[in-house]
Structure 1
Amino acid sequence: MLIFNHSSFVTFTLMGIPGLESQHLWISVSFSSMFMAILIGNGVILFLVAIEPTLRTPMYLLLALLMVADLISTLALVPKLLCLLWLNDRDITSNACFTQMFFIHGASVVRSALLVAMAFDRFVAVCEPLRYNTILSHSLVGRLGLIALTKGVILILPMPLLLQRLTFCHMVIPHTYCDHMAVVKMACNHTRVNRIYGLFVILLVMGFDLVLIGFSYAFILQAVGRLSSRDATCKALNTCSAHIFVILVTYVPALFSSITHRIGHNIPPHTHILLANLYLLLPSMLNPIIYGIKMKEIRYKMAKCLVRRSA
């Protein structure tokens, strides 16, 4: 058995999608289409927020930060994935592997933290509408974004650092990217600390953030329940609809992938791997579409820009 003591000089090999090697080219069509949709959709939202002063409200500034996190996660994942599927370029150095891991998982943590901030934004909009601009100032939005970034860095940075101390007996990662647990399984020595820390991050991010989001919507529903007018109730709920859809497309695929990875032992490996890629890419692709459909301000500004270009 080969043992590699210095992880800094290790080169891993990404297996890709086992069992579907002959379909890699066709699968790449789907992933490249998603990649283009993510770049265009998120880019359009960011462009509109940047050029339109009326969209520089707390809600849209938080949305812009979410788009940035989605783009970082996508750019860390897809280029290497397409090289693997198109060119059969499977090798990745340990440093590149750990860097990819940091940006993919870090962006996911930042995205989750921003969804909590957006839940707070919706709570203030529904429960304290008259004080909305006072409470959610631009400086507070900046601090919320900085907290989300700090949380992502602090929670994820220990993952590659802990991996640096391991020796590796296996060099073929059964995945399309450097997922934390996939790399941990390649180690020869004890990985209890790595596994416990990975589980701690999942519970802290998905568990704690979902609890905070749940509290926000509990207060929102309580406030909505006190409204006497049906129109006012519908309007209040409609202000939250886009955020609720984004929460669903972010957390449901992630939870499903996590559950099948741990208890779905009879599920083929390629299903696990495809799910792991989709739960990272689907939210990034669907978020701009959801906000584009649900938010009339975005639709109006987009139509306005198109009219300007055609004039």
Structure 2
Amino acid sequence: MNTEIELELVVAAATEPAADVRLLELRSPHGAELPAWCAGAHIDLLLDDQLVRQYSLCGDPDDRSSWQVAVLREPESRGGSAHVHDKLGVGDPIKARGPRNNFELEPAAAYVFVAGGIGITPILPMLASADAAGADWRLYYGGRTRGSMAFVDDLVARHGDRVVVAPQDETGLLDLAGIVAGRPDGAPIYCCGPTPLLDALESVCTPLPSGTLRTERFTALEADPDAVFEGFEVELTDSGQVLQVPADKTILHVMEEADIEVLSSCREGTCGTCETGVLSGTIDHRDALLTPDERAANDVMFVCVSRAAPGCSRLVLER
């Protein structure tokens, strides 16, 4: 279960590393060190009372003086990217929460990294971590156009031919089958980017051992139109309370109605804030975070979207 504090930060700098991408540098207004983090981590930005968005940290984990996030202006923004681009200026205060990491880089001798568009952000500190560990790696970086691909010039200048840049208007889509076939034996694949890229790469990686592909999604998984939800009970070990969760409500919703404090953010199974331990019962996982092996372990769930599996009448939660 996550326990986090909100930080009062200030926008120390704002630049544009690519078309429609805004890079924010966030610092403590008092010069205090910020919480430590490692490659793959993200934070919540509390843009106003009703607007909370998650962004990957893309700076240097060893630099505790600031955090950096890069935000793409989304044409159909739900408010987050428009707020960052149009309303946040240098010197403005901003609340942040985290960091948390659902996309941690595991030790390996070699890696393959695949990034699509703004999905490059969590990959950047992974490259530095892989370099520091002496690992072999290669990055395949796709985007609509070269001008839309943030940090591309710096990546090529730093790493040369270890970075394969593939703007779609110049080279077409990334050759995912070729990338997977050519990876070093046993090398894990880390990928972040838009849903079509992640879905396509997951399909290509189906024959590979479980855990080979590690992904981070910006958006929730599509709902199963044929899913039939059932009501069930939730027992909370901390209080001994038993709550009834009807078919048309989430566990998170029912907990909030019972005035049980639950830290949450995205409410769609992508951020990991509401992670909760499960002591008994079978889970119907509906998040975009857990790997197949983590789901099979049946010991943790995200209560904003996941439920008791059909036929399971009670979940016992560590809360």
Structure-2-length-normalised TM-score: 0.22
Structure with the higher strand share, 1 or 2: 2
Q: Which has the higher contact order (CA 8 A, sep 6+)?
A: 1
Which protein has the bigger helix share? 1
TM-score normalised by the chain length of structure 1: 0.23
